[in-house]
Chain A
Amino acid sequence: MIDWYFSHIVLIQSTLTTLLLALSVQVPLRAGVFSFAGVGCYGIGGYIAAIGMVHYGLSTATAILLAAVAGGVVAYALGLLIQRLTGLYLAMATVAFTLIISVLVVNGGDLTGGAAGLFGALGMLDTGHLLAVAAVVVAALTFTELGPLGRRVEAVREDPELASAMGINVARYRRATFAVSGVLGGLAGSMTVLLRSTVTPDDINFHLVVLALTIIIVGGSRSWIGALVGTVIFVWMPEMLAFVGEWEDVVYGVLVAAAAVYLPGGVTGAVVDGYRTYRRKRRETADSPPDAPPPQPAAAAVGGDS
């Protein structure tokens, strides 16, 4: 066990940081906002943490905090700027935002280290810290998925007009998801960089956008559990697919395409649907005398999905 842990420590740590990155795209998507701003903030956070440590000698905690705040502020401002866009247009505007950041850091001179990037930003981070941050984030997100807030977020996604007719300030929810995704992206980026000790412009690329998106689509986009499942699948796939060797990327492509076609709710969505069908079947057989009283719901109904 201990041996296994030390030989897989890089994968374990990158599972946790990648989870945060995936969540930075999932949070807005769950409210119907198709934004990749979180990935841009991953880049911003990574560079802010590296600059803070290399040029200003910040402590690890300060650097991460600064990165998270900067990510949130930048994403929120971006959200204000482009709040009129929806769907693919919003998606591509935020992809453009993300890629512009990579061009900016190439041209950032000594501050960003240009095309070579920055070195020597090794933070005092261990798996325990990462786990703690991930746990806090997941707990907070669970709160937004359950109960009244979860219902409102779902209404904002499924039918914004209905949501606003129900008294929900849809625009405010959308802007809030930008800020949250920025914070998550900033956390993910800064912690990744401080673990690796380096950051280069090539770290912020289109592939990162693709990775975050495929994780939540394959895992499931409705809950952090989906993001976790997807993260585990994609981070550990090279390990698990060692037997296919160089064809790993082909398998990756086939998996993603197949998920898009056959698993609209991702792996977790398929499991939940299967469970519901099973429960309904059971209830139908239990209900078979038509005038039998249906199962009494009131007490359990509050938390929503159980």
Chain B
Amino acid sequence: MAQHILNAVALGSVYLVFALGMALAWSTIGILNFAHGATFMFSAFTAHVVTQHVALPMPAVVLVAVAAGALIATLTQVLAFGPIMRRATDHRSAELRILIGGIGVAAIPLAIAERVTASAPFGFRGSTYQAQVFEIAGLRMTTTVLVIVVAGIGIGVGVWRWLATSRQGLALRAIGVDSETASLMGVDRSTLALGTMATAGALAGLAGALLTFQLGAIAPASGDQLLIKAFAIVVLGGLGSMGGVIVGAFVLAGAETFVLAMNQGTWVDAVSFGLIFAVLLLRPQGLFGRKEVRRT
């Protein structure tokens, strides 16, 4: 039982880091980035390629993935989303085109990674990192899990508090609530958008490195699955609430671990799909979201 809880917490931490990036860009600058999953995957892939040539320690591998994620997201913003936002006449068509743009962008790193790896899973075998197994109170635990949980919860709470209390956080939330007022406040939308996307990409990269360390290897196609799970998490927590993302990530991880523990492996994916559906049906604003789902 306790072992299951530990697994759920580790899984939830990775979900959290990943979903946090998605939620950050979506709830502030209004970008639901469908290339977020591909960014996650390709960051880990970049680190994989680097470790094949240089034997790096764990922190360096993580750093490479984080930098790669930030770079990919920045490029996505500069080459696709930025131009769309400048050209779109109304919000609804911008939303749709950003979705499509993200889908197009996502196909590129996926195609490259699948070609290089022949669609086989890849990992960080070239890294110098060796997981240590130890036991606390009868719980088998690895250093990897420890790092993941500490990093996940630390970053989750950090981003949440930063957004809630800091000046930049306030500016970001202002743009999410009302971009006109925000621009009156002197917030430069395109710079902020770029910074937000880079941060979101860095979080995707971090999640990519962490999950690859924990599982040993990930497949190129794993980005898409994670994308839908992250959507479920954000919807459950409520768009605009970072605290909600934290709760959502651990609820989803807990539910999935439970289904697995019941030996119902083939139903695992239904958890996130069902969650999306049920939440949107019963409580569209999520657990902690702003009261009104934006009118379209």
Interface residues of A (CB under 8 A from B): 32, 34, 81-82, 84-89, 91-93, 95-97, 99-100, 103-104, 106-107, 115, 206, 210, 213-214, 217, 246-250, 252-261, 264
The answer to whether residues A254 and B284 also contact, given A92-B235, A103-B266 and a CB cut-off of 8 A, is: no
Q: Which residue of chain A is the closest to B26 with respect to CB atoms?
A: A88
B100 at interface, CB cutoff 8 A? yes
Q: How many residues of B contact A (CB 8 A)?
A: 48
> Contact at A260–B104, with CB atoms within 8 Å?
yes
B281 at interface, CB cutoff 8 A? yes
Q: Which of A99, A115, A254 contacts B104 (CB 8 A)?
A: A254
> Contact at B100–A89, with CB atoms within 8 Å?
no
Interface residues of B (CB under 8 A from A): 32, 79-80, 83-84, 87-88, 92-93, 95-101, 103-108, 110-112, 114-115, 224, 228, 231-232, 235, 266-267, 269-270, 272-274, 276-277, 280-281, 284, 293-296
The answer to whether residues A213 and B100 also contact, given A92-B235, A96-B273 and a CB cut-off of 8 A, is: yes
18 A-B contact pairs sorted by A residue (CB < 8 Å):
A88-B32, A89-B280, A92-B231, A93-B280, A93-B281, A97-B273, A99-B273, A100-B274, A104-B270, A107-B267, A210-B103, A246-B115, A249-B108, A255-B104, A257-B79, A257-B108, A261-B84, A261-B101
Query: Binding site of B, secondary structure by majority: helix, strand, loop or mixed?
Result: helix
> Contact at A261–B87, with CB atoms within 8 Å?
yes
> Contact at B100–A253, with CB atoms within 8 Å?
no
Docked complex Cα distance between A2 and B92 (Å): 46
Q: Which residue of chain A is the closest to B114 with respect to CB atoms?
A: A249
Of all A-B residue pairs in the complex, the 10 with the closest CB atoms, nearest first, are A253-B107, A256-B104, A257-B104, A249-B111, A260-B101, A253-B108, A96-B276, A260-B100, A103-B270, A87-B296
Query: Within the complex, what minimum Cβ distance (angstroms) separates A78 from chain B?
Result: 10
> Contact at B276–A93, with CB atoms within 8 Å?
yes
> Contact at A82–B280, with CB atoms within 8 Å?
yes
Q: Which residue of chain B is the closest to A115 with respect to CB atoms?
A: B266
Q: Give every chain A residue within 8 A of B274 (Cβ-Cβ).
A: 96, 100
Q: Give every chain A residue within 8 A of B280 (Cβ-Cβ).
A: 82, 85, 89, 92-93, 96
The answer to whether residues A254 and B88 also contact, given A97-B277, A100-B270 and a CB cut-off of 8 A, is: no
> Contact at A213–B104, with CB atoms within 8 Å?
no
> Contact at B103–A103, with CB atoms within 8 Å?
no
Docked complex Cα distance between A87 and B273 (Å): 18
Docked complex Cα distance between A248 and B114 (Å): 12
Docked complex Cα distance between A257 and B75 (Å): 13
The answer to whether residues A82 and B108 also contact, given A92-B231, A92-B276 and a CB cut-off of 8 A, is: no
Q: Which of B32, B110, B269 contacts A249 (CB 8 A)?
A: B110
> Contact at B281–A254, with CB atoms within 8 Å?
no
Docked complex Cα distance between A86 and B294 (Å): 9
> Contact at A258–B104, with CB atoms within 8 Å?
yes
The answer to whether residues A82 and B95 also contact, given A253-B106, A253-B111 and a CB cut-off of 8 A, is: no
> Contact at A214–B112, with CB atoms within 8 Å?
no
> Contact at A34–B224, with CB atoms within 8 Å?
no
> Contact at A100–B273, with CB atoms within 8 Å?
yes
Q: Give every chain B residue within 8 A of A99 (Cβ-Cβ).
A: 228, 269, 273
Docked complex Cα distance between A97 and B104 (Å): 23
Query: Within the complex, what minimum Cβ distance (angstroms) separates A81 from chain B?
Result: 7
Docked complex Cα distance between A93 and B258 (Å): 23
Docked complex Cα distance between A127 and B111 (Å): 32
Q: Give every chain B residue within 8 A of A89 (Cβ-Cβ).
A: 235, 280, 284, 293
The answer to whether residues A214 and B95 also contact, given A93-B276, A100-B270, A107-B267 and a CB cut-off of 8 A, is: no
> Contact at B108–A87, with CB atoms within 8 Å?
no
Query: Within the complex, what minimum Cβ distance (angstroms) separates B51 from chain A?
Result: 24
Docked complex Cα distance between A253 and B79 (Å): 13
Q: Give every chain B residue within 8 A of A86 (Cβ-Cβ).
A: 295-296
The answer to whether residues A214 and B281 also contact, given A87-B92, A103-B267 and a CB cut-off of 8 A, is: no
Docked complex Cα distance between A84 and B88 (Å): 26
Docked complex Cα distance between A248 and B110 (Å): 12
The answer to whether residues A100 and B284 also contact, given A214-B103, A257-B101, A260-B84 and a CB cut-off of 8 A, is: no
Q: Give every chain A residue within 8 A of B32 (Cβ-Cβ).
A: 88
Q: Which residue of chain B is the closest to A103 with respect to CB atoms?
A: B270
